Amino acid sequence: MSNSYSLMVHGGAGALQHIKHEGNEAKFERSICGILEQGRNILEQGGAALDAVEYCASLLEDDPLYNAGRGSVLNEYGEVEMDAAIMRGLDLSAGAVASIKGIKNPISLARQVLEHSEHVMLAGHGAMKFAEFQHIKVWPDHYFITEARVKQLEEAREAGQMILDHEDSEEPQEKFGTIGVVARDLHGNLAAGTSTGGIVNKRWGRVGDTPVIGAGVFADNTTCAVSATGYGEQFLRTVLAKTIADLIDFQGLNAQEAAAAGIKYLVAKVNGLGGVIVIDRQGQCAAQHSTSGMIYGWIEQSGVAHHQLASPV
Ligand code: ASP
Q: Tens digit of pLDDT for each residue in 217-234?
A: 999 999 999 999 999 999
Residue 201 maps to a domain: yes
- Give burial (CB, 10 Å; 0-12/13-18/19+) of 45: exposed
Mutate to test the pocket of ligand 1, among 175, 196, 276 (most ligand atoms within 8 A of CB): 196
- End-to-end alpha carbon distance in the chain: 32
The pTM assigned to this predicted structure is 0.94
What value does the mean pLDDT of the chain take? 92
* Domain span at 69: 6-91+145-308
Residue 74 maps to a domain: yes
Q: Show Cβ contacts of residue 192 under 8 Å, excluding neighbours closer than 6 positions.
A: 53, 86, 87, 89, 180, 181, 182, 183, 217, 218, 219, 225, 226, 227, 241
Residue 126 maps to a domain: no
Residue 113 maps to a domain: no
Contact yes or no for 132/103 (Cβ under 8 A): no
pLDDT at 309: 85
- 222 tagged catalytic: no
Residue 123 maps to a domain: no
**Atom from ligand 1 closest to the CA of residue 198:** 9
**Atom from ligand 1 closest to the CA of residue 230:** 7
Residue 304 maps to a domain: yes
User: How many domains is the chain built from?
Assistant: 1
Q: Ligand 1 centroid to 231 CA: how many Å? A: 5
Q: Ligand 1 centroid to 177 CA: how many Å? A: 8
pLDDT at 152: 87
Mutate to test the pocket of ligand 1, among 199, 237, 294 (most ligand atoms within 8 A of CB): 199
Q: Which residue has the higher pLDDT, 23 or 25?
A: 25
Q: Show Cβ contacts of residue 102 under 8 Å, excluding neighbours closer than 6 positions.
A: 128, 138, 139, 140, 141, 144
Residue 269 maps to a domain: yes
**Atom from ligand 1 closest to the CA of residue 231:** 4
Q: Ligand 1 centroid to 283 CA: how many Å? A: 26
CATH code of the domain in which 293 resides: 3.60.20.30
Task: Give residue ranges with CB within 6 A of ligand 1.
Answer: 12, 67, 164-165, 177-178, 196, 198-199, 208-210, 216, 229-232
**Atom from ligand 1 closest to the CA of residue 202:** 9
Task: Answer yes or no: is pLDDT of 103 > 50.
Answer: yes
Candidate list 146, 178, 210, 223, residue with the active-site label: 178
- Give burial (CB, 10 Å; 0-12/13-18/19+) of 95: buried
Residue 157 maps to a domain: yes
